[in-house]
Structure 1
């Protein structure tokens, strides 16, 4: 049976919370990106072993609107601006809106200078989360998941890679940048572990294989 506990883990107040309150405070050094999996492949393997393995649920009742995003982080600014600012370099702002900069997509190594050409990817896609336990959450918790800046859940990547990925898990889609596979697997596992989402057997096998490169 899948672990679908509605409990929430209380996390320490971090820079991301300050950003949400102020709307214009930098989350991290520009281009820093989300944190890498703590402890590397070893901890990721341990967390993977703790995930519930279950068949994927249905899409019945699913809508992206059930995962409210992007949350406001200031006047005319939202979580998308936060991620663009965090993941880019030479950022140009209008108030706290990101209007220019440079970004390198970790999924495929492509570079961009126009923020409109960059998508914000959910590491664990919303539809995948729905099929692995989020269908039993309320919309408030789904909103917390969709706007999670504390886990490695949100990334600025090329629009083409984001749309190629869709809602597929690592058994169905992997970044073309193979040097990123270890980190990708670790991030995927960390997000699912924190949010107590299940994995399919094929998904677990793919993640196990990707961690071998760590």
Structure 2
């Protein structure tokens, strides 16, 4: 598979949480993207982190969004570390992002997280996770670029396969505190940013990477917020 040149890698090295992942390019073709581990993204001095991303005056909220357009949540056709292993995307992301884990075998997933600890990037809280219908909700899997937002920014015109891929792309997923995920809902950066300001650098760089990788536009107010957040990154 031909490796796509990733222009923004000259701008930043991204989240230590995500070592390797795949997204799609503007043509809808899967492209390999490798992101080196780093303590924090490093932004080149004077770089415009929004370069190449289409700006629109404002988000126009549509009323035809439906979660089912992005496929069944979740599937096992993802590229999280150890993906295609019988575990769905949610279980893969819990395994990737939690620490102090205890595992249990469920259905086709031999290594589902039964319990663990999340150091939540959105709030800087330490959250205990225990699998279960109620207690498990303390940790949720967030789409960094929310599905409903992506729909408004261009995903409505994608194929079903591309939307399914987006919904299960580890590059767009984080395990986070449940309440923070609920507070964010489908808010764009101009409306919601993580309460933990120390995470703004990583959040903005990852948000921008997903926009660019999927050729999504963004509203001007959110572009300004993302630029300000990226400005908190170390330079080099």
Please give the TM-score of this superposition, normalised by the length of structure 1: 0.79
How well do the aligned residues superpose, as a CA RMSD in angstroms?
A: 2.5
Decide which of 46, 70, 74 is 2:74's aligned counterpart.
70
Contact kept in structure 2, 1:134 and 1:142, CA below 8 Å: yes
Shift of the 82–199 alpha-carbon distance from structure 1 to 2, 3 Å rule, reads same
Offset at 1:56? 2.3
Q: Distance in 2 between matches of 1:44 and 1:194?
A: 22
Decide which of 195, 212, 223 is 1:176's aligned counterpart.
195
Shift of the 174–13 alpha-carbon distance from structure 1 to 2, 3 Å rule, reads closer
List per-residue Cα deviations over 1:68-107 (Å, max 9, x = no partner).
Answer: 23113444x3100100010011221112211111111100
Task: Tell me the SS of whatever aligns to 2:189.
Answer: coil
**Counterparts in 2 of 1:47-66, with a 5 A limit?**
47-54=49-56, 55-66=58-69
Decide which of 167, 192, 197 is 1:146's aligned counterpart.
167
Shift of the 141–43 alpha-carbon distance from structure 1 to 2, 3 Å rule, reads farther
- Structure with bigger strand share is 2
List per-residue Cα deviations over 1:107-161 (Å, max 9, x = no partner).
Answer: 0011122241200000000000000000101211100000002x2x100000000
- Structure with bigger helix share is 1
Q: Distance in 1 between matches of 2:173 and 2:151?
A: 17
Q: Distance in 1 between matches of 2:158 and 2:45?
A: 27
Contact kept in structure 1, 2:102 and 2:113, CA below 8 Å: yes
Q: Distance in 2 between matches of 1:131 and 1:36?
A: 32
Decide which of 100, 105, 108 is 2:123's aligned counterpart.
108
Q: Which runs of 4+ in 1 moved over 2 A?
A: 8-14, 34-47, 55-58, 72-75
Q: How many residues align?
A: 188
Task: Tell me the SS of whatever aligns to 1:197.
Answer: coil
List per-residue Cα deviations over 1:32-72 (Å, max 9, x = no partner).
Answer: xx966996233995441210011424423210111123113
- The answer for unaligned runs of 5 or more in structure 2 is 1-24, 77-83, 105-109, 131-135
Partner of 1:156: 175
Please give the TM-score of this superposition, normalised by the length of structure 2: 0.72
